[in-house]
């Protein structure tokens, strides 16, 4: 410890130490972090932005992969159902008078709307053992977006034709299997 006298009019003593002040560990840590952040704020901001951007890109890639998986499963189920209904119509036209399936009915069956107390978790699916198809429970906006992709992919299949048919006095879009029985997906 040293002391000096002020050469001014009020002669006071100023004590100073040649050793660093005694601080608690948390105080030293906070001070060190503050000084480091002040010295490297630009680099830390860029790094933080890169981490957030990377996390956002990773989330988008995961969401795209999940959506592609759902669309692929739905397209397989739609093709199977349309083909099966064509076989049912060919085998028993009295019991199955329509040679295809209504698009909206397929959508409502495979992507049901959760109502009231039956709300399910997002992206929850359930397997229907009677039909062998998976039902996906999605948010309404996501449901429409995914079904539009399914619709486009089904239309690319040359074994399925989309036509307008009158069902119970109402016009409905119908998917019909026009491919050979040998091309059936459930062979």
More confident residue, 123 or 71: 71
Q: 153 falls in which pLDDT band (50, 70, 90)?
A: very high
Residue among 86, 167, 14 at smallest CA distance from 4: 14
Percentage, residues of the chain above pLDDT 90: 45
Q: What pLDDT is recorded for position 167?
A: 79
Compute CA distances 115 → 112, 120, 128, 137, 147, whole Å. 9, 9, 19, 11, 19
Q: What pLDDT is recorded for position 117?
A: 45
Q: 12 falls in which pLDDT band (50, 70, 90)?
A: low
Has residue 134 got a pLDDT over 90? Answer: no
Q: Dihedral, CA atoms, 142, 143, 146, 149, nearest 10 degrees?
A: -130
Helices (H), 23-160: 25-39, 41-91, 103-110, 140-156
Report d(CA 187, CA 181) in Å as an integer: 9
Percentage, residues of the chain above pLDDT 70: 85
Report d(CA 106, CA 177) in Å as an integer: 14
More confident residue, 23 or 14: 23
Q: Dihedral, CA atoms, 156, 161, 166, 171, nearest 10 degrees?
A: 20
Burial profile 49-65: b = 16 or more Cβ within 10 angstroms, e = fewer: eeeeeeeeeeeeeeeee
């Amino acid at each position: 410890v040293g002391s000096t006298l002020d050469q001014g009019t009020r002669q006071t003593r100023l004590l100073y130490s040649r050793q660093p002040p005694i601080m608690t560990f948390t105080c030293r840590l906070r001070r060190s972090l503050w000084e480091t952040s002040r010295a490297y704020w630009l680099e830390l901001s860029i790094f933080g932005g890169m981490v957030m951007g990377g996390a956002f890109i990773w989330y988008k890639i995961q969401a795209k992969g999940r959506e592609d998986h759902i669309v692929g499963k739905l397209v397989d189920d739609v093709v199977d159902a349309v083909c099966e209904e064509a076989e049912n119509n060919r085998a028993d036209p009295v019991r199955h008078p329509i040679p295809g399936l209504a698009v909206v009915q397929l959508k409502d069956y495979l992507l049901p709307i959760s109502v009231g107390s039956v709300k399910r978790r997002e992206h929850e699916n359930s397997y229907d053992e009677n039909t062998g198809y998976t039902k996906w429970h999605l948010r309404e906006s996501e449901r429409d977006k995914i079904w539009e992709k399914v619709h486009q992919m089904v239309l690319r299949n040359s074994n399925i034709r989309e036509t307008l048919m009158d069902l119970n006095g109402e016009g409905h879009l119908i998917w019909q299997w026009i491919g050979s029985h040998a091309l059936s997906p459930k062979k």
